[in-house]
Structure 1
Amino acid sequence: MLETSLFSLFVAGLLGGGHCLGMCGGIVTALSPQHAKHQANWLLLAGYNTGRIASYVLIGTLAGGISGFALSGGHLAKVQLLLYIAANLILILMGLYLAGLSGLLSRIEAIGRPLWRRLQPLSRRLLPIRTLPQALAIGALWGWLPCGLVYSASLSALASASASHGALLMLAFALGTLPNLLLMGVFATRLKQLLQQRYVRRGAGLLVTLTGIIPLLRLALI
């Protein structure tokens, strides 16, 4: 059975910190406890990430459930295989992008921009974030931001053909992104400087690339 491991997606989310910095850094920095007069921003930061993770899990549930229903007749195994390959190819492109070796991923991310253009006005109405419901809501909206890492994880959930497993895959990915975004909230400047170091970007990017190459090599050996 074609399955992306929970660990692989967790690692991809963890190593993709440089991309997370670009996509979510502005909001997370604004919520940073170091910029607050008290510790209330910890609650807002937690609310933002809770909303974001909830969106990822919903995406995984929908993707896995839809494909599970479509594949229940057993006639679309080739589609499942193609989705599995596509998910790992996007991971490879993400790794090359993080390493500064390819910009092709940015073109793929453009696919989701029409949806984001519809959601973005809603997010602007929630700014500035002052309450927990606002933080939860903007986190939930930000979960739909066009992102190559999310695309890869979503395709993995789609290829799982299971609502429950799709949800778990997206949860594993979301938990992988969490340490970077929490650290970004506390050590925003230092983390940004670290992730911009060429050797850090190159190393993390190549490791993400490996998470996409290894499953494809295993598939070729079957």
Structure 2
Amino acid sequence: MTLDYFSAILIGLLGAGHCIGMCGGISTMLTAAVEKQSKTSFYYISAYNLGRIITYSFLGLIAGWTGSLGVQALGFPVIILKVIAGIFLILLGLYIGQWLFWLNHVEKLGRGFWQQLQPLSKRLLPINSMPKALGLGMLWGWLPCGLIYSTLTWSIASGSAVSGMGIMFFFGLGTLPALLTVSLGFQSLTLFFKKRWVRRLIAIGLIFYGLITLKFAYHVMF
């Protein structure tokens, strides 16, 4: 596993509190929409989380391809893209810690597209088949989210479509523990991640990781 993939998993794990706050309600709604069959409900929950990760991977592929165009066609230095990724990671930490909300402006960029997609979800309810569960998850993956957009900067900085897709795939895996916790009803863990001090501790971790990224980029450039 490359450092970028490890970083992607780490961002997904550290974003647990944000995931629960942003997507916990959706996860709970989708779980409630699953027809209560003990043998299939877990598979449906797994399927819509898989659909979400598929969308993340697709977005990562597009972002990585865009980054490769910037590097190959325009001669844009990869290390500058790493600097941008580090800055976005710091902004994400400030956002999750509720100290600075600049990423709200970034999230607004995707809201118009999300409003066009959201009505499609009604055609897939109730969740009574694997294709419906997978389709809803793939729609869910387009939800505007600062955590996703920040990680996409890592995909762009990878300078490769395949690497970009891998980064977002591993990011999706990193978000699984938090969202499965909500879906499977582990309320104590859910409440833990919602605590203010936990969110701020995670935020500090993201900021610190962003600073390490910038330090690494600085040493490469100078």
The whole-number CA distance in structure 1 between the counterparts of 2:145 and 2:216 is 26
Given the alignment of the two structures, is residue 133 of structure 1 paired with residue 126 of structure 2, yes or no?
Answer: no
* Contact 1:54–1:140 (Cα < 8 Å) also in 2: yes
The whole-number CA distance in structure 2 between the counterparts of 1:105 and 1:196 is 19
The whole-number CA distance in structure 2 between the counterparts of 1:154 and 1:109 is 13
1:210 corresponds to: 208
SS in 1 for 2:128: coil
Change (3 A) 1:4 1:63: farther
**Deviation, structure 1 residue 216:** 0.6
**Deviation, structure 1 residue 187:** 3.0
- TM-score by length of structure 2 reads 0.88
SS in 1 for 2:142: coil
Identical aligned residues as a percent: 39
For 1:130-209, what aligned pairs fall within 5 Å after superposition? 130-209=128-207
Which ranges in structure 2 are unaligned for 5 or more consecutive residues?
none
The whole-number CA distance in structure 1 between the counterparts of 2:128 and 2:21 is 23
Residues 96-122 of structure 1, C-alpha deviations (whole Å, 9 max, x = no match) = 222222222222211111111111111
The whole-number CA distance in structure 2 between the counterparts of 1:97 and 1:135 is 31
The whole-number CA distance in structure 1 between the counterparts of 2:90 and 2:144 is 17
1:44 corresponds to: 44
* Contact 1:32–1:186 (Cα < 8 Å) also in 2: no
1:61 corresponds to: 61
The whole-number CA distance in structure 2 between the counterparts of 1:4 and 1:124 is 40
Name the stretch that deviates more: 181-190 or 136-145: 181-190
The whole-number CA distance in structure 2 between the counterparts of 1:120 and 1:181 is 20
Change (3 A) 1:187 1:24: same
Name the stretch that deviates more: 54-63 or 186-195: 186-195
Residues 12-39 of structure 1, C-alpha deviations (whole Å, 9 max, x = no match) = 1111011111232123224179x94524
Partner amino acid for 2:101?
G
The whole-number CA distance in structure 2 between the counterparts of 1:49 and 1:120 is 17
The whole-number CA distance in structure 1 between the counterparts of 2:79 and 2:32 is 42
- TM-score by length of structure 1 reads 0.88
2:120 corresponds to: 122
Which ranges in structure 1 are unaligned for 5 or more consecutive residues?
none
**Deviation, structure 1 residue 70:** 4.4
Name the stretch that deviates more: 133-142 or 99-108: 99-108
SS in 1 for 2:72: coil
1:77 corresponds to: 76
* Contact 2:4–2:154 (Cα < 8 Å) also in 1: no
1:10 corresponds to: 9
Partner amino acid for 2:171?
F
Runs of 4+ in 1 over 4 A off after TM superposition: none
1:25 corresponds to: 24
1:88 corresponds to: 86
The whole-number CA distance in structure 2 between the counterparts of 1:165 and 1:54 is 15
The whole-number CA distance in structure 2 between the counterparts of 1:172 and 1:42 is 21
* Contact 2:21–2:194 (Cα < 8 Å) also in 1: no
Partner amino acid for 1:110?
K
Partner amino acid for 2:209?
T
